[in-house]
Structure 1
Amino acid sequence: MKIKHVISLLEELAPLSYSESFDNTGLLVGDANAAVSGILVTLDTLEDVVDEAIEKNCNLIVSFHPIVFSGLKKLTGKTYVERVVQKAIKNDIAIFSNHTALDNSWNGVNAMICEKLGLQNRKILIPQSETIKKLITFVPSKDAENVRNALFSAGAGTIGNYENCSFNIKGNGSFKGNEAANPMIGKKGEIHFEEEIQIGVTFEKHLQNEILKSLFIAHPYEEVAYEITTLENLNQHLGMGMIGELKTPMDETEFLHFIKTTMKTDCVRYSPLLKKPIKRVAVLGGSGSFAIPNAKSAGADVFISADFKYHDFFKAENTLLLADIGHYESEQFTKDLLHSFLKKKMTNFAPSLSASRVLLSQINTNPISYL
């Protein structure tokens, strides 16, 4: 199994096309065509982690956070980032990161927090826009079912909890082939009218190549007429943060102790208590102060995130409770998610690379200690 095959599996969980524009995701170091000897999963790639990969004969590090975030102009070993990259290159170790792609995934970082807290009725807090596309194509009536099914098989026509969704309109299409044409029906140089079905389906943008490939294979015409447009609809299963509900409401102080224990943090910084029960809980792993207005609009009783600054706490404005549990603490279970996902995939799809060669890093990469 090659590194590029592992990346393809990881993109099933979190397609890289949904990474935020400021981010640096994907294969950061290494050769995608190299064979995989072992995979080490970590939250951060530090020198100790690279040493661990060397010791355990893992030539691929799957790291949630990217070690290279902005451009590197020099590789002299003066910074921890440069030293990590140098050591990885010297030892033929590849480094892959999916950071905000996993942040935006329905089954990603925030889903793990919701699972730990036992939240129900989950929804995306900040849905992404312009990630849903619409395909319209025109097919002879007798071939419409075959083309529709091919599009469905490629992932088109899924809307929320529904699959195989399409809209179909009967009509008459016309065309006239020139001397270089090889029409399936009609004659060269003569205009031809054909009873056709206009098929319309929506799909998530990362599926576009596969859907077009399936369309071209299934469609009977030499020249396939189709249109693709980007919709402004929000994607209800893709985006930053999540909001859900506790099965049973909790007192504020009780809830703060609950998240301190459950999220294994030594410190919870919080805004003034409001003396009301906690039911609706918004979460966002990592730095989440930008989402305070969204948590308010969603009717959250509490917003759990990290890296709030002094003035961010004023933004609670007696409408919700803000709880800062720490950056590392909010994302610490992410590596467990990646590790579990890859082990299952290796068992099903890569018998040549035993699931036992997918290892969880034992290095604690949290740079912050509490007194």
Structure 2
Amino acid sequence: MIVKDVVTLLEEISPLAYSEGFDNTGLLVGDEKMKVTGILVTLDTLEAVVDEAIEKGYNLIVSFHPIVFSGLKKLTGKTYVERVVQKAIKHDIAIFSNHTALDNAWNGVNAMICEKLGLQNRKVLIPKDSTIKKLVTFVPVNDVEKVRNAIFEAGGGSIGNYDKCSFNTEGIGTFNGNDSSNPVVGKKGVTQFEKEVKLEITFGKHLQSNVLKSLFNSHPYEEVAYEITTLENFNQHIGMGMIGELKAPMTEIEFLKFLKETMRTNCVRHSALLNKSVKKIAVLGGSGSFAINAAKSAGADVFISADFKYHDFFQAENKIILADIGHYESEQFTKELLYSFLTKKITNFAPALQKGIAISDIITNPISYL
């Protein structure tokens, strides 16, 4: 098993196409063709984590946060980032990060928080737009089923809880091949009138190369006529944050105590209590002040996130409780998520991973509480 194989698996749960524009995700250090001896999962790739990988014989670190966030102009070892990269390169250790790709994933960071809190009826808090594309192509009537099914196999036609979705319109297509053409039907230089189906199928943008490959491999024509457009529809299964409901309402104090214990945090900074029960909860792992208004608009009783500044708390406006549980604390269970996913996916490759898969023993939280 090589690094590229692991990256391909991780793209199943967190397609890198859905990373935020400011982010730096993917393989950050190392050769994608390198054979993997073992995988170490961490929230942050610090120098101590690289040392742990060296000591235990792991040569691939899967890190939620990217160690290289902005461009490196020097590698002199003067900063912790430079030292990590230097040491990883020196010891042939690859580093991969999926950060905001996993933030935006349906079964990603925020789903893990919801699971820990036991939230039901989950929905994405801020769905992303421009992530859905539509393929329009024209296929001879006798071949449309084969082409349609090939695109379905590539992941096209899945919409929410439904799959194999398409729209089909019959019509007449015309074409006239030149002297260099090799038409499947008709003759060179003669305009052909052919019964065709206009086939329309939507797909997630991360699937575009697979969908086109399936189209070209299954379509009978020498020249395949097709169009791809980006839709402005919101994607209800991709986006930042989640909102769900507790199984039963709690008082505000009961919930904040439950939150503190469940999320293993030493401190919950919160806005003013409103003296009412809470049931609808919004969550967003990491820095989430940008989503306060979205949580209010969604009717959340409590919004759980991190890194709220002083003035952010004023945005509660006695309509919602803002609860800051700490950046590390809000994302800590991401390690479990990645470990569980990789362990299930790589079962068949287990003999090839000499050292297996493990969660780092290093606590990378840079904040301590007195």
**Which range, TM-score by smaller chain?**
over 0.9
Give the structure 2 partner of residue 8 of structure 1.
8
Please name the residue that 1:174 is paired with: 174
Partner of 1:67: 67
- CA distances 1:270-302 after superposition (whole Å, capped 9, x unpaired): 000011111110000000000000001111010
Q: What residue number does 1:152 align with? A: 152
> Deviation per CA, 1:159-200, whole angstroms, max 9, x where unpaired?
000000000001000011111010010000000101111010
1:155-304 aligned within 5 A = 155-304=155-304
Letter in 1 for 2:369: Y
* Structure 2 match to 1:121: 121
1:356 to 1:245, Cα distance in 2 relative to 1, 3 A:
farther
Deviations 1:117-139 (A, max 9, x none): 00000000011110000000101
State the AA in 1 paired with 2:216: F
Q: Distance in 2 between matches of 1:214 and 1:92?
A: 36
Find the residue that maps to 1:249 and give its secondary structure: strand
1:358 aligns with 2:344: no
TM-score by length of 1: 0.99
- Give the SS at the match of 2:346: helix
Residues in 1 aligned to 2:218 and 2:272: alpha-carbon distance in whole angstroms = 61
Q: Distance in 1 between matches of 2:164 and 2:102?
A: 26
Runs of 4+ in 1 over 2 A off after TM superposition: 351-356
Offset at 1:256?
Answer: 0.2
Structure 2: distance between partners of 1:158 and 1:369 = 45
Q: Which residue is 2:335 aligned to? A: 335
Q: 1:149 and 1:263 mapped to 2: Cα distance?
A: 45
The percent of aligned pairs where both chains have the same amino acid is 73
8 Å contact kept, 2:38–2:354: no
> What is the letter of the counterpart of residue 38 of structure 1?
G
Q: Is there any run of 5+ residues in structure 1 with no aligned partner, and where?
A: none
Q: 1:355 to 1:249 in 2, by over 3 A?
A: farther
SS in 2 for 1:113: helix
What TM-score, normalized to structure 2?
Answer: 0.99
Distance 2:212 2:354 in 1: 34
SS for the counterpart of 2:241 is strand
Amino acid of the structure 1 residue aligned with 2:137: T
The change in CA–CA distance for 1:355 and 1:240 in structure 2 (over 3 A counts) is farther
Deviations 1:209-250 (A, max 9, x none): 000000011111111010000000000000000000011011
Structure 1 pair 296–72 and aligned structure 2 pair: CA distance change class (3 A): same
Specify the SS of the correspondent of 1:39. Answer: strand
Shift of the alpha carbon at 1:357? 0.7
Aligned length: 370
Q: 1:236-268, CA deviations, whole angstroms, 9 ceiling, x for partnerless residues?
A: 000000000011011000000000000000000
Asked if 1:21 corresponds to 2:21, the answer is yes
When the two chains are superposed, the root-mean-square deviation of aligned CA atoms in Å is: 0.9
SS of 1:312's equivalent? helix
CA gap 1:324/1:355 in 2 versus in 1, 3 angstroms? farther
Is the Cα–Cα contact under 8 Å of residues 114 and 244 in structure 1 kept in the other structure? Answer: yes
Give the Cα separation in 1 of the matches to 2:354 and 2:278. 41
Q: Provide the secondary structure at the position in 2 that maps to 1:329.
A: helix
Asked if 1:111 corresponds to 2:114, the answer is: no
Aligned partner letter, 1:218: S
**Would the aligned equivalents of 1:282 and 1:303 in 2 still touch at CA under 8 Å?**
yes
What residue identity is the alignment partner of 1:114?
A: C
Match of 2:317 in 1: 317
- 1:347/1:354 contact within 8 Å kept: no
| Aligned residues of 2:130 and 2:232 also touching (Cα < 8 A) | yes
CA offset at residue 353 of structure 1?
2.4
The one-letter code of the counterpart of 1:225 is A
2:347 equivalent in structure 1: 347
Look up the match of 1:133: 133
Structure 2 Cα separation of the partners of residues 7 and 103 of structure 1? 17
CA shift at 1:356, angstroms? 5.9
Residues 346 and 354, structure 1, Cα contact 8 Å, conserved in 2: no
Q: Deviations over 1:3-24 (max 9, x none)?
A: 0110000001101111000001
Residue of structure 2 in register with 1:54 after alignment: 54
